[in-house]
Structure 1
C-alpha cells in the first residue's frame, strides 16, 4: 500500500489515515464492537497517524498556515492592512487549532491509560513527548491570537455539546509550560534521517524560551520570565545541535529545510505539497501576487545581502516601482525552488515555526531585559544574526550593536532585528502584540486603532454553540438560541 507523507515527517498508511479521519468508528454496518477515541489508539502507528492528522489540520495546500497570512494582514509587513479587525478575523485558525487538539488529546488519553500494546516504556515516553510538544504549540498560537481560550485536554469529556468557559491566559500558559517541559525532557536530541522533521529536545527548549519571553511581555507582563527565557535559550545555544546557516542566501534553500538552522517547521514534501508557489511571486514573474510587502515597510528595510535574499524588489533589472499592477515588493523566502517546479505549480518549501536565529534573538532580548543593560553575551548573540545578514562585511545601513546602548535602545534594536530577520514567518504580528507596538508601526491607520485590536474576536459560531464563551472586548456577541 502506498504511503502518504504528512507534515513533520509523520507517515501512515491510507487505511490508518481513513480510520483516524472518520472519528475512530468502525466502518462495518453491524460492528461486533464499538471503537471509541478512548480505546482506538493501541499501536505506535495509530498514535503517529494522529500526529500527522493534527499537523495536516494546520498545514495543507490553500489552507491553514500554508495560506494563512490573511489574519495577520494588519501588521506592518504585509500589504493591505488598515487596522480594521473583522468579526471573522482568525476564525479558520481557531477551527484548525481545535481540530488539531482533538487529534492530540485522544492519543494522549490512550497513552496515559496504558492502551498501547507491544510498545516499550522509552517509546511511550517519546510518543507522549511529541504529543505534548504539538499540543503546547497549538495552545501557544491560540492564546496569543485570542487571549484566554477553552482549555481542552485529555481529561475533557469528548462530547459534541461541550460547554466550556474560557480559561484565563495564565492557566493556558501554565499548560503550555508544563507540556514543553515534559517534551524537552523526553524528546531525542536528533531523529533518524527519515524522521528528521520531528520535534527535538532543543526545539522544545527553544519554543519554551519563546513562551517565557512572551509571558514576560504583554499581556501577562511578568518580568521574572525574562531570566527564564534567557536561560532556556542559552541551553539551546550551548547544546550545539543547531546553528546559523553561514550564508544568508542559503537559509531558505531546499537543501537546508531540515537544518542546521530550521528547528521546527510546517513541512512540505513531494507527496504533500505547499500552496502553489505563484502566491509569493509578482505578475511580472508569472506569479499571482497573493501576498506582498507593505511598501512603507519595505522602504525602511536596510539594503544588503539579506534584503536581496528575503525580498523580491526587482526583476530583470526593473524595480517594483515600475512594474504594472500592484507596485510592491514580494517574498523570496519561499521561492527557492526550481523553475520547473514553479512552472508546474509545485512547492516543497517549508515555513519555519522556530529557527536558531530566533533563539539567538530571544536570548539577546531576554538577557538585556533581565540584566537591565545589554551584556556582551546579548550583544554577541544578536550580532551573529546581523553579521550573517550583511555577508560578514560592515554595513552602515545595518551596523552591529554594542554594549554602549541603553537597555531600552538595545531592546528596540533587537525587536527591529526580529522584524528584519523573521519577516513573513508568522512572528511580526505576535511581536507587535506582546510589545504593544501595533499603533506605533501603523501611523497611517491610527484613526482605526483600538486597544481591542490586540486580540482577535472569538468566532461567532462557537459563541452561539457554547453558552459559557465570552467575546473579547470591542467585538459584538451574536444572539444565542
Structure 2
C-alpha cells in the first residue's frame, strides 16, 4: 500500500488539461509545478482529468455498482457484464470494488496536492481560494461516491508527502457522519469561493451552482437511510431553492428537449451542473467506453459488446408520449456494420418482450445470441458513430454526473417529505412536461410518483442503487427480481449487508487499521 500511495504522488502532477482539454506536459516536481498560476491551473485541471483518465474499467465499474442490482437491471445481448453484482453474488475480493475505491482516492490525492500547494503558486487569497475551491469540490464529490458505496472510509485531508505520513497511509475508517462533515465543509467553502459562471474558454469547470447543487443532494442523502436525519430535508430545501430562484444568475435550467441534454453538439449545456469531458480526435483517440459496452450490437459501429440491459417492465413504466423512453432504451433500430449475428446492414432489429430477445425482422430469428435472455439495451447518449480507426473507448460522450432535473426532483422530494406536496407538484411536472409526459395531478401519491420519476429521468446516471438504499427499499427490489433476469446463475436472497458494498479485500490486506462492513 505504501508503494501504491507514493506512485500516485508521482503521477499526480502529470497529464493535466488546459481549459479542460487534455494537453499533457512532462512530469515535474511540486516545486516546479506550483511556481505560478499557470502551473496551479494545470494541476487543478488535473483533478478533473482523473475522473475520465484511463483505465476505463474504473469508470465502467462505477456504472455497474450504481446501476445494477434492482428490479429492472438484467443482462445484455452479449451477456451480463454486471455479474456478480446485479445478482448480489459479489464478495470483497471482486475487482469492481478495488477499482472504484482506487479511482476515488486518486481524485482525493490530486485534490489534496492542489489544496496544500495553491498558496505557493499565488499570493493573493482570492486567486488561490478559487483553485482550492475547485479541488475541494472535486474531493467532496469523490468522498460522496465513496460514502454511498462503502459507508465510512478513511479521511485523507492533506497531501501525503512521504512514507513518514503513517497517520494518512494507514488511516482508519472514519464514521459516515465524519465523512459527510468533511463533504459539507468542502462544499460550503466551494460555494462561497467559486464564480457563479465561467467564461466560454473555461466552460465545464465547477461553479457555485455545482457546489450548491451537490450540497443539497448530500443533505437529501443524509435525511435518508442509513443516517435517517430527517432535519436535513429542510436544509436541502433551503440550499436547492437558492438555485431554483436564481436560474438566470447561474445560467442553469432545463434544455428544451430531453435528447438535447446528451447531444455532442450541445455539451456543457445549462442543464449540466457537473460533467467530465472526453475529447476524441485523430491525435487523442481515448474517450469513453460506455457506448461500446452499452449500445446494442450494430446501433452505431457494429462491434458493440452489449453487457447490460433493462427489462421490458422498465420500458412500460414510460407513457407513450414520453420522449425519455426511446432515448433511454432501444426497442428497435437499424443494424449498422458488417454482417454478424444473423443481421446484415440495413436490417431492422426489434426487441421481442415475449422471449426476452432482439430479433431480425427480415428473418424472424433471434439476433446474435439465442442461448440466454437479455434486456433492452441502455443508450442514453448521443448515438454518433465512433470515429474510423478509434479504439473501443473512442467515443466522445461526456460523463454526466449532476443535472438540473436532478436538482428539481431532489427539491420536490424534500418538500414532499416535509409535508409540502403542493409546492413539489409543479417541480415534478416541469420535468415531465419537458419530456412530453402527462402532467401529474394533486390526487397522485407524490412520494411514489417522485420515486418513479427519478427512475424515468435519471436511470443510468449513477443514482439508481443509491436512491434505493436511502429510501430503504432494497429488500423490495430484490423480492421483485425474477429468474429470467439472471444469466447462468442464481439470485442471492436479500441480506442486510447488501445495503453497502464491502470494503475491498486488497485494502484490508494492506491497511491493518481498516475494518470490514458488517456481514462481509
What is the TM-score when the length of structure 2 is the normalising length? 0.78
Shift of 1:284: 4.1
Select the residue among 199, 207, 219 that pairs with 2:226: 219
Equivalent position of 2:120 in the other structure? 115
Equivalent position of 2:274 in the other structure? 264
Conserved 8 A contact 2:382-2:397:
yes
* Runs of 5+ consecutive residues of structure 2 not aligned to the other structure: 1-13, 76-85, 335-347, 353-357, 360-366, 483-490
1:273 aligns with 2:278: no
Give the stretch that moved more between structures: 456-465 or 423-432: 456-465
Aligned-partner SS, 1:15: coil
What CA distance in whole angstroms lies between the structure 2 residues aligned with 1:449 and 1:7?
A: 44
Aligned-partner SS, 2:156: coil
1:45 aligns with 2:38: yes
Conserved 8 A contact 2:401-2:461:
yes
Equivalent position of 1:181 in the other structure? 188
Equivalent position of 2:516 in the other structure? 471
**Equivalent residue runs for 1:45-84 within 5 Å:** 45-61=38-54, 62-66=56-60, 68-72=62-66, 73-80=68-75, 81-84=86-89
Select the residue among 367, 375, 382 that pairs with 1:335: 382
Shift of 1:76: 3.6
Shift of 1:350: 1.3
What CA distance in whole angstroms lies between the structure 1 residues aligned with 2:503 and 2:201?
A: 39
Conserved 8 A contact 1:306-1:389:
yes
Runs of 4 or more, structure 1, over 4 Å off, are 4-9, 155-158, 338-345
Change in 2 beyond 3 A, CA 1:77/1:242: farther
Change in 2 beyond 3 A, CA 1:135/1:41: same
1:147 aligns with 2:140: no
Give the stretch that moved more between structures: 278-287 or 90-99: 278-287
Equivalent position of 1:28 in the other structure? none
Conserved 8 A contact 1:256-1:262:
no
What CA distance in whole angstroms lies between the structure 2 residues aligned with 1:276 and 1:172?
A: 30
Change in 2 beyond 3 A, CA 1:11/1:46: farther
Equivalent position of 1:431 in the other structure? 467
**Equivalent residue runs for 1:384-395 within 5 Å:** 384-390=430-436, 395=437
Conserved 8 A contact 2:386-2:395:
no
* Runs of 5+ consecutive residues of structure 1 not aligned to the other structure: 26-34, 476-481
What CA distance in whole angstroms lies between the structure 1 residues aligned with 2:151 and 2:88?
A: 18
Aligned length: 440
Aligned-partner SS, 2:74: coil
Select the residue among 164, 171, 175 that pairs with 1:168: 175
Conserved 8 A contact 1:337-1:349:
no
Shift of 1:470: 0.4
Equivalent position of 2:503 in the other structure? 458
1:298 aligns with 2:315: yes
Select the residue among 342, 367, 374 that pairs with 2:415: 367
Equivalent position of 1:355 in the other structure? 403
Change in 2 beyond 3 A, CA 1:342/1:228: farther
1:176-225 C-alpha deviation (Å, 9 max, x unpaired): 01110111111111112121011011111001110000011011111111
Select the residue among 95, 100, 104 that pairs with 1:93: 100
What CA distance in whole angstroms lies between the structure 1 residues aligned with 2:39 and 2:131?
A: 11
Equivalent position of 2:442 in the other structure? 403
CA RMSD of aligned residues (A): 2.6
Change in 2 beyond 3 A, CA 1:289/1:7: farther
Aligned-partner SS, 1:336: coil
What is the TM-score when the length of structure 1 is the normalising length? 0.84
Equivalent position of 1:199 in the other structure? 206
Shift of 1:155: 6.8
1:288 aligns with 2:295: no
1:125 aligns with 2:118: no
Aligned-partner SS, 1:417: helix
Aligned-partner SS, 2:468: helix
Aligned-partner SS, 1:418: helix
Conserved 8 A contact 1:320-1:327:
no
